[in-house]
């Protein structure tokens, strides 16, 4: 009986590691994708254009506020040339300071990628406060990427373990 539980635990551990591996690979990985925000700062409600290239042609993408588990700002489909462009508004109630804007899509080599840029929310000014410059910055960490996969992986592993234990009876 102890041997069955040990095998079940090992299967569950392997399943969790396999399911978590893609999430780890996505952290800060822009791969072949370029991702630019214009402007990269302004008050809440600012209209922003996100654009870039290096994505799978004719594939869907999403742009999220703070993380890929955050609010979806806009979604779209890339062009046949692997370029993309989308217009969205920064949340009107966004707190002043730096915030991540995350592009999630598929690279032209068919690998998923999440790429992060910073949008700095400034205090509203009488002149609008929007700066018309484009900004590209490299980020290497996305702490929330894949965090939602852990409970799903644990449930899948537990289910697989129970099925194995029932079959061996």
Question: Over the range 122-153, which residues count as b (16 or more CB within 10 Å of their CB) and which as e?
Answer: beeeeeeeeeeeeeeeebeebebbbeebeeeb
* Mean of pLDDT over the chain: 75
pLDDT score for 44 = 93
At residue 162, does pLDDT exceed 50?
Answer: yes
At residue 29, does pLDDT exceed 60?
Answer: no
CATH architecture for residues 29-143: Sandwich (2.60)
What is the average pLDDT across 40-60? 94
Lowest mean pLDDT among 5-9, 80-84, 98-102, 103-107: 5-9
Give me the residue spans of the domains in the chain: 1-27+145-169, 29-143
Distances, alpha carbon 137 to alpha carbons 21, 28, 85, 167, in Å: 25, 11, 17, 53
At residue 72, does pLDDT exceed 50?
Answer: yes
- CA-CA distance, 122 to 55, in Å (whole number)? 31
pTM for this structure? 0.58
Q: Would you give the end-to-end CA distance of the chain in angstroms?
A: 10
pLDDT in tens, 98-137: 999 999 999 888 889 899 999 999 987 655 445 544 444 4
pLDDT score for 64 = 96
pLDDT score for 126 = 57
pLDDT in tens, 137-156: 444 444 445 555 556 666 77
pLDDT score for 102 = 95
pLDDT score for 169 = 66
pLDDT score for 68 = 87
């Amino acid at each position: 009986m102890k041997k069955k539980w040990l095998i079940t635990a090992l299967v569950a551990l392997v399943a969790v590691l396999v399911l978590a591996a893609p999430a780890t690979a996505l952290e800060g990985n822009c791969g072949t994708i370029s991702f630019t925000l214009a402007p990269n700062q302004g008050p809440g409600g600012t209209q922003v254009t996100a654009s870039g290239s290096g994505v799978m042609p004719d594939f869907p993408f999403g742009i999220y506020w703070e993380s890929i588990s955050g609010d979806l700002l806009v979604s779209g489909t890339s062009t046949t040339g692997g370029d993309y462009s989308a217009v969205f508004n920064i949340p009107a109630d966004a707190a002043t300071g730096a915030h991540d804007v995350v592009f999630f899509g598929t690279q032209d080599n068919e690998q998923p990628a999440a790429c992060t840029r910073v949008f700095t929310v400034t205090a509203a000014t009488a002149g609008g406060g929007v700066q018309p410059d484009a900004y590209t910055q490299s980020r290497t960490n996305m702490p929330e990427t894949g965090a939602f996969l852990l409970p799903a992986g644990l449930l899948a592993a537990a289910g697989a373990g129970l099925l194995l234990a029932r079959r061996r009876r």
